Chain A
Amino acid sequence: MNRDIILAGVGGQGILTIAAVIGYSAVERGLFMKQSEVHGMSQRGGDVSSHMRISDREVHSDLIPEGKADLIIGIEPMEALRHTSFLKPDGWIIANKKPFVNVTNYPDFELVWKRVEEHSNSILIDGEKIARDVANAKAVNIVLLGAASTHVGLPVEDLENAIRVMFARKGDAIVDANLRAFAAGQKFAAEKEAVSA
Chain B
Amino acid sequence: MKRMMLLGDEAIAQGALDAGLSGVYAYPGTPSTEITEYIQRSAEAKTRGVHSQWSANEKTAMESALGMSYAGKRAMACMKHVGLNVAADGFVNAGITGANGGLLVVSADDPSMHSSQNEQDSRYYGKFALIPTIEPSNQQEAYDAMFHGFEMSELHGTPVLVRITTRLAHSRAGVATQDKLGENTLRLPDNKRQFVLLPSIARKNYDTLLKKQVAFDEASQNSPFNAYFDGDDRSVGIIACGLAYNYLMENYPDGCPHPVLKVCQYPVPRLHVKKLFDECASILVLEEGAPFVEEQLRGLLDESGKIRGRMDGTVPRAGELNPNIVARSLGMEVHVGDSVPDATVPRPPELCKGCPHIDSYKALNEALLKYDEGRVFSDIGCYTLGALPPFNSINTCVDMGASITMAKGAADAGLVPAVAVIGDSTFTHSGITGLLDAVIENTPITVFILDNETTGMTGGQASHARGRLEDICAGLGVSKDHLLVLEPLARNHAASVEAIARELAHPGLSVVVQRRECIITAADTRKEKREEAQA
Shortest C-beta distance, A98 to chain B (Å), equals 15
Find out whether the CB atom of A107 lies under 8 angstroms from the CB atom of B337: no
Tell yes or no: B323 within 8 A of A by CB: yes
From B34, B323, B347, give the contact of A10 (CB < 8 A).
B347
Tell me how far the C-beta of A21 lies from the nearest C-beta in chain B, rounded to whole angstroms. 13
Q: Which of B47-55, B191-199, B246-254, B470-478 contacts A (4 or more CB under 8 A)?
A: B246-254
Within 8 A of B (CB), among A52-96: 57, 59-67, 69, 78-79, 81-82, 84-89, 91
Q: How far is the CA of A65 from the CA of B247 in the complex (A)?
A: 9
Q: Give the docked Cα–Cα distance between A69 and B339 (Å).
A: 13
Contact of A45 (CB < 8 Å), options: B31, B336, B352? B352
Inter-chain contact B347/A85, CB cutoff 8 Å = no
A196 at the interface (CB under 8 A from B): no
Contact assessment for B114 and A40 in the assembled complex, using a CB-CB cutoff below 8 Å: yes
Q: Given contacts A38-B170, A107-B343, is CB(A85)–CB(B34) below 8 Å?
A: no
B142 vs chain A, min Cβ distance (A): 12
What A residues does B385 contact at CB under 8 A? 44
Are A61 and B114 CB-contacts (below 8 A) given A106-B345, A115-B340?
no
Nearest-CB residue, chain B, relative to A36 = B171
The minimal Cβ–Cβ distance linking A91 to chain B, given in whole angstroms, is 7
Contacts A61-B247, A111-B342; A88 near B347 (Cβ below 8 A): no
Chain A interface, DSSP helix/strand/loop, else mixed:
mixed
Closest to A62 in B: B171
**Interface status of B182 (Cβ within 8 A of chain A):** no
Q: Which residues of B from 241 to 288 have beta carbons under 8 Å from A?
A: 243, 246-247, 249-250, 253
Chain A positions within 8 Å of B148 at CB level: none
Q: Does B467 contact A (CB under 8 A)?
A: no
A34-B171, A84-B338 known; A78-B458 Cβ under 8 A:
no
Contact status B246-A60, CB under 8 Å: yes
Q: Which of A44, A61, A67, A105 contacts B345 (CB 8 A)?
A: A105
How far, in whole Å, are A102 and B388 apart by their CA atoms in the complex?
14
Pick the most buried of B34, B327, B338: most chain A CB atoms within 10 A of its CB: B338
Check if B115 sits within 8 Å of A40, measured CB to CB. Answer: yes
A64 CA / B324 CA spacing, docked (Å): 9
A66 touching B336, Cβ below 8 Å? yes
- Taking a contact as CB atoms under 8 Å apart, the answer to whether B322 and A63 are in contact is yes
Centre residue among A47, A61, A87, A106 by max chain B CB count within 10 A: A61
A156 in the interface, Cβ–Cβ < 8 Å? no
Contact A37:B171 (CB < 8 A) given known A45-B349, A62-B243, A89-B337: yes
Is B172 positioned at the interface, with any CB of A under 8 Å from its CB?
yes
B330 within 8 A of A: no
Instruction: Give how many B residues have a beta carbon under 8 Å from the other chain's beta carbons.
Output: 47
Whether A107 lies near B336 (C-beta < 8 A) is: no
Bound CA span A38–B114, Å? 9
Residues from chain A with a CB closer than 8 A to the CB of B350 are: 44-46, 102
A66-B171 contact, Cβ under 8 Å, with A33-B5, A45-B352, A81-B344? no
Contact A36 B343 (CB under 8 A): no
CB closest residue in chain A, given B249: A60
Check A27 for interface membership: any CB of B closer than 8 A.
Answer: yes
Q: Provide the residues of chain B in CB contact with A23, threshold 8 Å.
A: 5, 172
Interface residue A150 (Cβ < 8 Å from any Cβ of B): no
Taking the nearest CB of chain B, how far is it from the CB of A136, in angstroms?
Answer: 18
A197 at the interface (CB under 8 A from B): no
**How far, in whole Å, are A114 and B340 apart by their CA atoms in the complex?**
11
B224 within 8 A of A: no
A39/B34 in contact, CB under 8 A: yes
A107 vs B322: C-alpha distance in the bound complex, in angstroms? 29
The reply to whether A65 and B327 form a contact with Cβ atoms under 8 Å apart is yes
Give the 9 A-B residue pairs with the shortest CB-CB distance, closest first. Answer: A41-B115, A40-B30, A36-B171, A65-B323, A62-B171, A40-B115, A61-B250, A46-B349, A44-B349
- 24 residue pairs A–B, Cβ–Cβ below 8 Å: A23-B5, A27-B5, A33-B173, A34-B171, A37-B172, A39-B170, A42-B114, A44-B382, A62-B173, A62-B243, A64-B323, A65-B323, A66-B324, A67-B334, A67-B337, A78-B345, A82-B344, A84-B338, A84-B340, A85-B339, A88-B337, A103-B346, A107-B345, A112-B343
